Amino acid sequence: MRRGSTIRRTRDLRGRGPDVQRKRAWRETNTDRCRRSTSICTACKQRGYIEPAHLFGKRNQVSEPLASHPAFLVPLCHECHASIDRYIDIELRERLQWEGIRKLRDAVGVTLPCRVGAEDWLPVDVAHWLDRELDDEEIYASVA
């Protein structure tokens, strides 16, 4: 190859491995399950179109498959979803995150490094801890 020439990739290799495909199917299955589960917003209790909101998945706060675990997916209306994604309603966001952590703790049977809602821990810190401590198989097995 000549100096200064560029290598041209002939095909896209991202998203082709079995692990990537398994995580994509997991995310889609749980998102559909959340969408079908109810037509009532968890936050404002209004009926209507529901969007599954990832409590920790936005901006890569935790990795798959944990980000799409049913405990971390919450059915919300568009307005409530936008308010937690844009950090407009931080109290609502943290309350929902702590509820998700509590559900995941009960589903997996893990002992957390703090009590749920502790003043000196942020929910995202506990989610990072869970992401490091749990392996993928424990997460998949916790949903039956």
Please give the pLDDT value at position 50.
87
**Mean pLDDT across 70-74:** 90
Write the pLDDT tens digit of every residue in 35-63.
Answer: 676 788 999 999 988 888 899 875 667 88
User: With 90 as the cut, is the pLDDT of residue 8 above it?
Assistant: no
In 3D, which of 55, 121, 113 has the Cα closest to residue 87? 55
